[in-house]
Structure 1
Amino acid sequence: MTLPDCPALTRRAALAGAGALVVSFSLARSAFAQDQVQPPQNIGREPKSPAPLPGSLKVDPNLDAWIRIGSDDSITLFTGKAELGQGIKTALLQIAAEQLDVDMGRITLVTADTARTVNEGFTAGSHSMQDSGTAILHASAQVREMLLQLASARFAVAAQDLKAQDGKVVAPDGQSVRYGELVVGSELHIPATPNSRLKPLDQRRIMGKPVRRVDIPNKVAGGPAYVQDLRLPGMVHGRVVRPPSPGAKLEAVDAGAVERMPGVLKVARDGDWLAVIAEKEWQAVTAMRALAAATRWSQPTALPEKTRIFETLAGLKADTTTINQKQAPPAAAVHTIEAEYRRNYQLHGSIGPSCAVAQMQDGALTLWTHAQGMFPLRKAVAEMLSLPEDKVRCIHVEGSGCYGHNGADDAAADAALLARAMPGRPVRIQYMREDEHRFEPYGPVMTSRGAVALDGSGRIVDWRYEVRSNTHSTRPPGAGQLLSAQMLEKAFQPGPPQPLPQPEGGGDRNAIPLYDFPSQSIVHHFVPEMPLRVSAMRGLGAYHNVFAIESLMDEAAAAAREDPVAFRLKHLKDARGRDVVQKAAEAFGWSANATRESGRGRGFAFARYKNLGAYAAVAMEVSVDRETGGVRLLRAVAAVDSGEAVNPDGIRNQIEGGIIQSASWSLYEEVQYEPRRILSRDWSTYPILRFPALPRRVEVHIIDRPGQPFLGTGEATQGPAAAAIGNAIADAVGVRCRELPMTAARIKGLIGG
């Protein structure tokens, strides 16, 4: 992949670039009723608050922040969100093409670039469609109406008698004008209004239709698709020497022989940060290995005992908060169930190790990176390098992984330090597998305890749940959140870990069940001290909490001697939640009286992501080998309600991928470590699900809600899939594994016990 030289510039300058005119129309104020100056009314009363702008239009309300139309009829769309493999490029193009009445192929999409796009923060939490998709939906519709108003003035025809069609506005008599002609000379930018005239549902031809994803062809054909493929003129290669263990200090290094190696341009050291730059990548790799052999490090005992990690977590000081409580008159409990659930450390396991390219030119830094937040990263890198923020430009380029805070930000920081050490030339760094595995921030260890009371009718009358966890986000914008910035002579310290607030939450995400219980108490024990470095991993605490809650629901259903699906519906009032539960059960062929072969089981689970996102239900069938404890996934059936489905194929991709990713987490993935080092260095010491272990069949059923808000999709099934697998294992062999991952060894131990 090659890119042209990209000097630092401002977003406004980019939007006003040569050969293109900004969609910023100078229209009569009467075109928008919301903007008309009205005579004062209701004097003496409190004025009504203005209606909020939809989605990320609240971040930047100017339409020229989202759309540009050129005099050559080119259309450029801007989003502050990044394509991470979730398919948002395709969905956002569909939205804009629909509302502007043009083919998707005529639109160029610019994603996450601090010089060109709106600051939409991190691409995380299934917010891309909720935030950016909603903003683009309304901005595109308003631009279309502006074009009709401009054409109305030109043709002296009422705007309602005109129609937008294939990049033109067409009058009843057949005369037409191109979009590019209408905006010539218009250079003002206009704020969006709260209400938009969206295309009627029955006139839509692009939204709601399955469209092949625009990001896929190069990925499957081996073409340039990722930042790992990026090649710039004059580019050189860097590698960082990582310490043998977290917390180790560089005591001595003899770099003389390395500096004389072929192709080596420079050995750079700043405190405990040590790196080499060479003309070619393999030269950098061999020099890095030689440099590592010439170092001496202190190696403190910095890590906890793995076999006692849950006791360690329980013994650490916690800030305790009751996040939800509901009380009802005491009811007689016939059955009481108590259980503890555990999750071990897990890593992101990006198939492609983290990579970045940086160039320092004339005191300004340009950084190409697959991190998930360009603006927060820019702030952190600027702080680390003591540069003004406007001297750092971060451009998102897709990476071959991942969802969550993996090593991408750290790689970007390393690239920036390398570029500072060799100004003028682009420097590329790609982590080695062992560096990615050993030093990325992990998904946190977690524990939860649940206690459920049922009355004589088998209904839950009291629900108690407590979850204990570290933070689930140590992302930038602080320089102290960058691993290499912590290793410099003038070290930057990370800020104190913080819990993420409800209603979305972090470790307590989805800890509040969507079910209707008359009495419940939900408590979050936030543990600031982190035995291992941790941060955001797809779904945050929802993965563990849904696993625990839905496992506990199955245990309660068994105590009540009721079918698990019927038991859930008995406690679920949310109509859309009931729809996905019933759809998944029906598609699976769920029957309360079904007979099954020995060693086979079925499981069911449901959740609404964050209790405000997508609804998802998963039914799973597995077989379990009693001799080995090995689990074979036979089939998975899911139902999902993500609101309006812009690209059903993209939603299906996300749900299928979420189920498979969750299956890998839930059956295989667990970080191995000892007090002085991380042992998970490669795919043999950190096994993941392989192709032969995939479910034989995965079905996804989408409940479309045209006209309803976008709810996001990407993180909806990780928790339900884990719980469905756990429930199916319990159904197959009669023992329940309450610790993630549910490895063959753990299941075998339970069967034997």
Structure 2
Amino acid sequence: MSHGFGAALKVEDGKPRLPGNLHTNRRLSQWLAIHPDGRVTITPGKVELGQGILTTLSQIAADELDVDFARVTARPAATPDSPDEAVTSGSLSTQDSGSALRHVCAAARMIFLGVVAQRVGVPLETIRIEDGRFIGPAGEIGSYWALADQALLECEAPIAVTAKAPGARRIAGTSVPRIDLPDKVFGAARYVHDLRLPGMLHARVVRPPARGAALAALREGPLPGDARLVRDGNFLAVLASTEWDAEAAAARLAARAEWAATDTLPEQALLAGWLRAAATRGERSAVASRADPAPAAARTLRRSFTRPYLAHGSIAPSCAVARWEGDGVEVFTHSQGPYNLRADLAKALKCPPEKIVVRHREGPAATATTAPTTWRWMRCWSPARRPACRFGCSGPGWRSWAGRPSPRPCWWTSRPIWTPPATSRAGAAISSATAIPPDPGGVRSRPCSRRRCWPSPSRSSRASTRRWRPAAAPRATACPSTASRH
């Protein structure tokens, strides 16, 4: 399962280090394809959430390959073809995916130029590239497109690659039209909500009034159109060939259903203890651990911080489309982590991950989910049952500092925050309590009120240690901006 921070958590696998997420996805063809008809396709594992990342990555590719920006197409992430870049979050896409793609494209340029230089017999340094065409001392000697069928990218990325210097870049850093905006502005079918497959059915779930409610009775009655009932224990839903019939049928069933509900949530004052108890169940993963002995301390400070439930709901409803084919399923979703979602779906469906294909389609938020079926999350459900990543509570987490007689702390340990990690984001797991001694290398950072000084709720699987300069004394106040971190 992938962590949500991509290359932020470095993998120590003994291999030579490659930039960003290229280190764990080392094959060039995972990231880049060059076609004989003059097109370039990039296939990053990061997804478009409205932040413009596909435009940025296309600029990087066009720059390093020396091709026109219009030639580059960014293909949405999909398993298993795209690189596994974990989760699109934390403003890390340009850092982790951009650095990887820049290295990939620089490597591709080096490989193609090397091949054409050897074939033609001219020095490599005498060849320049003009919009994908290779120009030698006597004129054009080849192009990317002429070598596109040679499978030159079916290899691991080389380590020794020289990307362009910032001053040599023509496209990256300049203003170009966003590639995702025209469809959105003019109302084209770009979102997963707009996807229509042959024979597709529409589903609506009838939600109970409370968590853990039992369906006590369901009165009989007609449903509109061709809508039909789907019931599995306390799960109640409808299927229909049109979206409107599905919504109308769900409304009728909601009026006919009788639920036996009990209060399953604690009082606000007891929430911290309830979360501690809940943390003993579910998945745990120790992300990092070090056995270095703690330095001697004259004084230790320990503080605990809590916050209530906070909703971070999107304006538009979530949606997913699933299509079964044989013994496999294809899922179209606007999840931030396609591979993480695939792992969770494999658990839910009790099938190998290889039987599940997850394709990203743009949407408003981060969620997952024999004829293809579309299931849309209704906006009215969000305040009570947000499905993923946007409704949660940061439970008690503690910080401890140990200091010598001088004001300089020698030890700062962050223990885990007990919380639904990223508030139920796909692929999340509850962390074990792991303390990490400070890096003996010295100063890391100075404490401040910014969110990065504290592990955020989404980073509950990460224990961290920081050291700072003597000028900064330890503070026993929580960072308020942490509460809304992804």
Query: What interval of TM-score do these two structures reach, taking the shorter chain for normalisation?
Result: 0.7 to 0.9
Pairs aligned (count) = 446
* 1:446 aligned residue: 395
The answer to whether structure 1 residue 297 and structure 2 residue 259 are counterparts is yes
Distance in 2, Cα, partners of 1:307 & 1:330: 34
Residue of structure 1 in register with 2:166 after alignment: 201
Aligned to 1:120: 85
Task: Give yes or no for the alignment of 1:498 onto 2:447.
Answer: no
Q: How has the CA–CA distance of structure 1 residues 60 and 310 changed in structure 2, closer, same or farther, with 3 Å as cutoff?
A: closer
| Alignment correspondent of 2:418 | 469
Does the C-alpha gap of structure 1 residues 315 and 386 become closer, same or farther in structure 2, counting only changes over 3 Å?
closer
In the other structure, the counterpart of 2:379 is 433
Residue 183 of structure 1 aligns to a residue whose secondary structure is: helix
- What secondary structure does 2:62 align onto? helix
The aligned residue for residue 364 of structure 2 is: 400
* Alpha-carbon shift at residue 89 of structure 1 (Å): 0.8
Give distance in 1, aligned partners of 2:113 and 2:377: 52
Q: Is the 8 A contact 1:356 1:369 kept in 2?
A: yes
Shift of residue 199 of structure 1? 1.5
Q: How does 1:192-341 map to 2 (within 5 A)?
A: 192-254=157-219, 256-257=220-221, 260-310=222-272, 312-313=274-275, 327=295, 330=298, 341=305
Q: 1:392 to 1:456 in 2, by over 3 A?
A: closer
TM-score (structure 1 length as normaliser): 0.52
Give 1 or 2: higher helix fraction: 1
- Out of 50, 55, 60, the position equivalent to 1:90 is 55
Q: Deviations over 1:469-497 (max 9, x none)?
A: 235255445xxx9xxxxxxxxxxxxxx84
- SS in structure 2 of the partner of residue 153 of structure 1: helix
What do the CA deviations read for 1:33-89 (whole angstroms, capped 9, x no partner)? xxxxxxxxxxxxxxxx65233333333322122111111111111112212233321
Q: Mark the CA change 1:540 to 1:60 in structure 2 (over 3 Å): closer, same or farther.
A: closer
1:343 aligns with 2:307: yes
State yes or no: 1:391 paired with 2:355. yes
State which of 314, 317, 330 in structure 2 corresponds to 1:366.
330
In the TM superposition, what is the alpha-carbon distance from 1:297 to its structure 2 partner? 2.4
C-alpha distance 500-119 of structure 1, shift in aligned 2 (>3 A)? farther
The answer as to whether partners of 2:403 and 2:411 remain within 8 angstroms in 1 is no
Q: 1:174 matched to which residue of 2?
A: 139
> Structure 1: how far apart are the matches of 2:301 and 2:354?
58
Q: Which residue of 2 aligns with 1:639?
A: none
Contact 1:448 1:465 (8 Å CA) reproduced: no
Q: Is contact 1:356-1:428 (8 Å) kept?
A: yes
Amino acid at match of 1:498: S
Distance 1:144 1:502, change over 3 A: farther
Summarize the Cα distance change of 1:330–1:282 in structure 2 as closer, same or farther, 3 Å threshold.
Answer: same
CA contact (8 A) 1:161 1:172 kept: yes
Quote the Cα distance in structure 2 between the aligned partners of 1:183 and 1:202.
29
Deviation at 1:278, TM superposition (A): 1.4
Counterpart secondary structure, 1:515: coil
Say whether the 8 Å CA contact 2:192–2:332 is kept in structure 1: yes
Other-structure match for 1:570: 471
- Would the alpha carbon gap of residues 223 and 302 (structure 1) be closer, same or farther in structure 2, given more than 3 Å must change? same
Change beyond 3 A, Cα 1:427–1:451: closer
Shift of 1:434: 2.8
Counterpart CA distance in 1 for 2:51 and 2:432 is 26
Q: CA deviation at 1:382?
A: 3.8
| Residue aligned with 2:323, SS | strand
CA shift, 1:171, in A, is 0.8
Partner of 1:380: 344
Q: Percent identity?
A: 33
Q: CA deviation at 1:134?
A: 2.4
What is the DSSP-based 3-state SS (H/G/I as helix, E as strand, rest coil) of the residue aligned with 2:75? strand
d(CA) in 1 for partners of 2:359 and 2:402?
Answer: 53
The SS at the match of 2:227 is: strand
Query: Is the 1:453–1:460 Cα contact (8 Å) retained in structure 2?
Result: no
Shift of 1:316: 7.5
TM-score (normalised: structure 2): 0.77
Q: Secondary structure at the match of 1:79?
A: coil
Runs of 5+ in structure 2 lacking a partner? Answer: 1-13, 437-442
Q: Provide structure 1 residue ranges, at least 5 long, that are not aligned to the other structure.
A: 1-48, 403-407, 413-422, 482-495, 504-511, 525-535, 550-566, 573-604, 608-658, 667-714, 719-753
In 1, are the aligned partners of 2:279 and 2:418 still within 8 Å (CA)? no
Shift of 1:373: 2.1
Query: Which digits, 9 at most, give the CA deviation of each residue in 1:247-282, with x for residues without a partner?
Result: 12223334x42xx32223321122222210112222
Whether the 8 Å CA contact 1:249–1:297 is kept in 2: the answer is yes
Match among 72, 79, 84 for residue 37 of structure 2:
72
* CA spacing shift, 1:213–1:443, aligned 2, 3 Å: farther
Structure 1 residue 146: Cα displacement = 1.3
Deviation at 1:447, TM superposition (A): 4.0
Equivalent-residue separation in structure 2 for 1:391 and 1:186 (angstroms): 27
Q: Is contact 1:366–1:394 with CA below 8 Å preserved after alignment?
A: yes
Is the CA contact 1:340–1:449 (under 8 Å) kept in the aligned structure 2? yes
Distance 1:94 1:501 in 2: 41
SS in 2 for 1:304: coil
Q: Is the 8 A contact 1:114 1:374 kept in 2?
A: yes
**Residue 298 to residue 513, structure 1, CA distance change in 2 (3 Å):** farther
CA distance in 2, matches of 1:200, 1:428: 47
- Match of 2:419, as an amino acid? N
Query: Matched residues in 2 for 1:253 and 1:208: separation?
Result: 60
Q: C-alpha distance in 2, partners of 1:433/1:315?
A: 31
CA distance in 1, matches of 2:60, 2:478: 29
Q: How does 1:541-580 map to 2 (within 5 A)?
A: 570-571=471-472
Out of 25, 44, 55, the residue aligned to residue 20 of structure 2 is 55
Choose 1 or 2 for highest CA Rg. 1
Residues 329 and 430 (structure 1 numbering): CA distance in 2 closer, same or farther, change over 3 Å?
A: closer
Instruction: Note the C-alpha offset of 1:349.
Output: 0.6
Q: Match of 2:226, as an amino acid?
A: V
Change (3 A) 1:100 1:162: same
How much has 1:149 moved relative to structure 2?
A: 1.4
Letter in 2 for 1:570: A
User: Which digits, 9 at most, give the CA deviation of each residue in 1:338-386, with x for residues without a partner?
Assistant: 9764311122311112101122234432211011222232333344334
